[in-house]
Chains A and B, each alone.
Chain A
């Protein structure tokens, strides 16, 4: 082997020399690098050196390809890691998951709190709306309807006075009437009944016969309250007024009063 290859081997450095001799003046002993490279590349020689280099470079190429592929893929990135690196990565991950769990429980608490408070706010709003409706009926700022009675007083002689109407209203209230109106004027706590110029003024508004009082309440209570002996109906009939009490299916009280804002009194809660 060796004796056969020896001349070949020996030729290697010399060959470029011979090729260069005609044109290169670089020096007889040293070929230029480019020429040496070309000489090493072009005439393929199956020398022992070339074969050995080929085998080693083959191994290098193999390793290079494997390593590039291993480094490029995410999955195998941890496989080649050192134990201490793996421990560090693991503890980092544990820290991180602990932090995230903390955050999660904080956020869950917050969410529960918010849901709770919004439920409470909703309930409070519902209650205050309900209360506003009830108070509106009492204060006369909203219309109301329901069971009740209608009292009609025909007064051809003009004998009915404010006192008698007030008696009727108070009788009805005492019997549990919740909303009242007389000829389209809502009757509330502050309503006034005044005799003026031979007529009746309710809240400074002239009310003429026939007087119609609509009252919402329990009819079984309201009607007897008016009809008791010596009561409202009887005393009006004594003055030649025609009184009729009816129980419609539903009584509608739709006369309204505007809510008055107090100028000086403020909420003290």
Chain B
């Protein structure tokens, strides 16, 4: 037997101290009642953060969208009842407003919105024109299958109210005197109903049951709300803002060949920039925890990262400052664009690519630096520390 008697005493003493240190610090309740002496405690309280995000960001955003959506629904009904220039103009305006408001809720890819894949029923573009026309002829086609995603939602409405013909008169004829006018109106109605059903289901589940589930799933594993929120948020920024709105139309992602027809709101054209800017700003506001009703910043990714002490160790700058600076840089590039992104791709594509490049830098910070600082888990598999 190896004898360590001389060492043993020292080790034993050290170990007893270890166990004592552990057990005392663990068993002793916080001796100072009242406000927490460590201010970072509230900042890292994920329940506080999730509650703010649910009650002051997601649910009010959903309510705002619902208002705009219901207005669009009413205008579309009015248009169906009496398709003329006035009702068409009103419908279009309501569509622009609702589409813009949609940009502020698309990023909440969590809970019922994720499980019901809400986005697929609202904003998959470019619209499949052939498919839409087939559906109109067929009448009552299914809008549930993946193949039907580009045949519904805002992009399909864009085609149906802006893209059917070159002039408004010609468009109105499609809904009045054309042979399939009734069927066309019915299809508009079907799309509206589908959107209404899907969104109402998501909003109802959020308020009825999911809100409580959401704020209580405080873990950072894959089933935790923060993890789902971050993954959905980053995915939205990367795939649906960076790629969808800039990378794909500009050709920065595929072969360098521009595809101007793949811009968002292709038929309306002049709102594509405002949609992109709205979506981008919504992502920035969400990152900063901005209360939708008051406009004040509250618990969110920003406060959480700061409370965690996340900073660039080399420059000493807070990570949230670095990320916000990158958001600003993307905004600056967005500021150089004209409202019609279709034209921009055709005439000023370098500026489109520049936006993509700038946003890519933010994607990495969100995907790598932010996610790592939060130690968000992305898989269920066992791990022994990278």
Does A pair with B?
no
A interface residues, Cβ below 8 angstroms from B: none
B interface residues, Cβ below 8 angstroms from A: none
